Structure 1
Amino acid sequence: MLDEKHDAPRDLIQAISDKNIYSWGRIGDHKVVLTSLPAGVYGTVSAAVTAQQLLSTFPQIRVGLLVGIGAAIPSASGSLDIRLGDVVVSQPDGQSGGVVQYDLEKVEDGGRFTRKGTLNMPPEALLKALSRLQAHHESNPSRIVEFTEGMLERNPFMAQSKPGRPSYQYQGAEYDRLFEATYTHPSRSDSCTNCEWEKEVTRAKRETTEPAIFYGTIASGNLLVRDVATREAIAQIAGDNCICIEMEAAGLMNNFPCLVIRGICDYADSHKNDRWQRYAAATAAAYAKEFLEIVPAAHLSNTPTALSVLSKTIGSIANDVRSVQKDVKSIFSFEKDKSRRELYN
């Protein structure tokens, strides 16, 4: 999706602690650096470590885009018609900053789960650009199809399907099947070829294969969700506006100012497979490209660096630790004096 690919800067000195591997280039008016999580390693901690290592080498980076795949949370009523290949973007809704960590909660009386703590929202410069792009899409189509088709023209190999490696092309509506919540996928089948058609949720045929874009809350945690009951429990924790589940964003939001963009590759149920992952990654990347092209470079120049945000977070944590230490010392001193009084009385 890069407009230009760049070589590594000649004067680059990568921090000893930084194990990331980078690519460089330009999108619109912005110079960008790209990295990814280690192969086969997922979760919020891995994402946080990757971001912190990046900042140790690039301290002037101001914002980030977390781009990849996620699972949709279909609404039981069918009011949210989300399909595989669609794009979900994190957006604050007043109750959350756009991302909710679902595995950080407390259990109250009656076994009811409630969220504990909140995560930061994206920086103002990104939210203003998000509003601008949404307004633009009210009267103009998204450029996702344009960018994905251009990508495949420049890289024909990505359009080819190989055994065990689906292509980056749209996979076909016949392979986008949403099943009833109570219907479990046969345990010994890798695909849904033998799944019962009568158990499939009937949905209206879309007039176009162009991906739809949804804005709302993204639930993030360390579980690989392949179960409808778990999916619905997470949705209840995250709130009514939650439309996507993923595994990295919660590790970044408080330490790395970013916007989360996810292409939908499954429905977080037992029918989950890898067929749509590459296409979903492509649609998310295409949206990220379109988004960056409308972000004014001048707006980002006035945004604090990500490292300064991280430093403030660390400073706040340090203050909290010192406060706790002070309270503990006070309690210890009180108990010690109490014991002395009891001894001499």
Structure 2
Amino acid sequence: MSRQPVMRRFQPPGREALRPDAAPTSAPTLLHPAPSVSGGKRSTPKSRQDEYTVGWICALPVPEWQASQILLDEEHEDVLISPPTTYSYVFGKINGHGVVMGCLPEASMGTTSAAAVAAEMRAVFKALRFCLMVGIGGGVWSEKADVRLGDVVVSRPDPVARTGGVIQWDFGKAIQGGEFQMTGSLNSVPETLLSAVGKVKATLLHKSKFPEYLKAYSQYQDSYPEYANRPNAPDRLFAPSFEHPQGKDTCDSCPREQEILRPERPSNRPVVHYGTIASGNAVMRDGERRDRIASQHGGILCFEMEAAGLMNRFPCLVIRGICDYCDSHKNKQWHSYASAAAAAWAKELLRNIQPSLLSNENTIDEQTSS
């Protein structure tokens, strides 16, 4: 039996708050969950690993895992784990649900690493009912889907395209003409999650707590402003064929005539999109290839690198904050804010699932063995 390391307790702003650049590479040392937005108090630490029903996986320690931990209503320290685990976890509660947050090892992105973490979580935390994959991804803008930086994309089955919400875009076979044909999609999203997604989608804006959860990051304005504030960097989308100038860190020198002009939005509030997410083991950084693959499969909204490793092992929903447009103009300026937006929406999702009802659902092992 192994004991997870005791995490630091919450320190109010003004005391020595740790910054991301001081975090070890194995796990971020923030681990100071913000007080519940609803005003609830954190309970005493839990010690039973069978009381956690929701798995939450991030690919990057900073900013994804760190942003997620901030939104814990409670943090459970000193949790006894048996058998010993290879990967690091953080435990707590969000809207009444026992949540175990895992993260891929530093510099270990991709579907294979995600599958390894998912397999361990399934083996160790037997009470889990489903998993959320929460983090960042690259958006695919189109006339039909006005996906922009800072928005959130949520996986949802597409009956027309016959996809289960996530497709593995680099898994298939080569066909005549050099094209690539996928040989199937991944498992669909569980009904419990689909029902909750529908409820969140139908919630009137003034009743949704998504903006409130996103605003909760302002409590850490002094120490972690990157989560609380939209970046000063402009949201620019360029023609698919226009390559980013070599040696330039920003798009300041990119000509405006290569930019796709879009109408200004009336609000900076992130927009949530629901549809197909493409997952693979390679980073998508080619605008023309992005659009070609997206159009071939009924309108992909987002590309990322881990979800395909989970979908055939876990009942899973993928939630991605948009940090770039999958082209050569990638940079990290939107990573933190996009991570915060994804985590805030995931928390709103859990608010719309009653813990008492979830406890009556089959565990992951029961779901996958039936």
TM-score for the superposition, normalised by structure 2: 0.76
The answer on 1:180 being equivalent to 2:223 is no
The answer on 1:79 being equivalent to 2:122 is no
Q: What CA distance in whole angstroms lies between the structure 1 residues aligned with 2:319 and 2:215? A: 19
Q: Which residue of 1 aligns with 2:341?
A: 283
The answer on 1:152 being equivalent to 2:218 is yes
Read off the aligned partner of 2:314 and give its amino acid letter.
Answer: F
CA shift for structure 1 position 253: 0.6
Q: What CA distance in whole angstroms lies between the structure 1 residues aligned with 2:304 and 2:120? A: 21
Q: Which residue of 2 aligns with 1:247?
A: 305
Identity %: 43
The answer on 1:303 being equivalent to 2:361 is yes
**3-state SS, counterpart of residue 302 of structure 1:** coil
- 8 A contact 1:255–1:309 mirrored in 2: no
Report matched runs for 1:196-235 at 5 Å: 196-235=255-294
**3-state SS, counterpart of residue 127 of structure 1:** helix
CA shift for structure 1 position 169: 1.7
**3-state SS, counterpart of residue 157 of structure 1:** coil
TM-score for the superposition, normalised by structure 1: 0.82
Q: What CA distance in whole angstroms lies between the structure 2 residues aligned with 1:13 and 1:3? A: 21
Q: What CA distance in whole angstroms lies between the structure 1 residues aligned with 2:356 and 2:163? A: 28
Structure 1 outlier segments of 4+, above 4 Å: 309-312
Worse-matched range after superposition: 183-192 or 108-117: 108-117
* Count of aligned residue pairs for this structure pair: 298
The answer on 1:5 being equivalent to 2:75 is yes
Q: 1:50 aligns with which of 117, 121, 125?
A: 117
CA shift for structure 1 position 155: 5.6
**3-state SS, counterpart of residue 242 of structure 1:** coil
The answer on 1:271 being equivalent to 2:329 is yes
Q: Structure 1 or 2: larger helix share?
A: 1
Q: What CA distance in whole angstroms lies between the structure 1 residues aligned with 2:343 and 2:302? A: 17
Q: Which residue of 2 aligns with 1:116?
A: 183
- 8 A contact 2:241–2:288 mirrored in 1: no
Relative to 1, partners in 2 of residues 1:191 and 1:104: Cα closer, same or farther, differing over 3 Å? same
Worse-matched range after superposition: 19-28 or 208-217: 19-28
CA shift for structure 1 position 29: 1.8
**Higher-Rg member (1/2):** 1
Read off the aligned partner of 1:170 and give its amino acid letter.
Answer: R
**3-state SS, counterpart of residue 224 of structure 2:** helix
Higher relative contact order (CA 8 A, sep 6+): 1
Q: 2:209 aligns with which of 134, 138, 143?
A: 143
**3-state SS, counterpart of residue 301 of structure 2:** strand
- 8 A contact 1:144–1:211 mirrored in 2: no
Read off the aligned partner of 1:22 and give its amino acid letter.
Answer: Y
Q: Which residue of 2 aligns with 1:335?
A: none
**Runs of at least 5 residues in structure 2 that lack an aligned partner in the other structure:** 1-70
Q: What CA distance in whole angstroms lies between the structure 1 residues aligned with 2:263 and 2:351? A: 33
Read off the aligned partner of 1:156 and give its amino acid letter.
Answer: D
Worse-matched range after superposition: 140-149 or 277-286: 140-149
Q: 1:107 aligns with which of 156, 174, 180?
A: 174
Report matched runs for 1:290-329 at 5 Å: 290-310=348-368
Relative to 1, partners in 2 of residues 1:46 and 1:311: Cα closer, same or farther, differing over 3 Å? farther
Q: Which residue of 2 aligns with 1:331?
A: none
Relative to 1, partners in 2 of residues 1:219 and 1:228: Cα closer, same or farther, differing over 3 Å? same
The answer on 1:261 being equivalent to 2:313 is no
Q: Which residue of 2 aligns with 1:343?
A: none
CA shift for structure 1 position 226: 1.2
Read off the aligned partner of 2:152 and give its amino acid letter.
Answer: V
State the Cα RMSD in Å.
Answer: 1.8
The answer on 1:170 being equivalent to 2:230 is yes
Q: What CA distance in whole angstroms lies between the structure 2 residues aligned with 1:291 and 1:214? A: 14
- 8 A contact 1:219–1:234 mirrored in 2: no
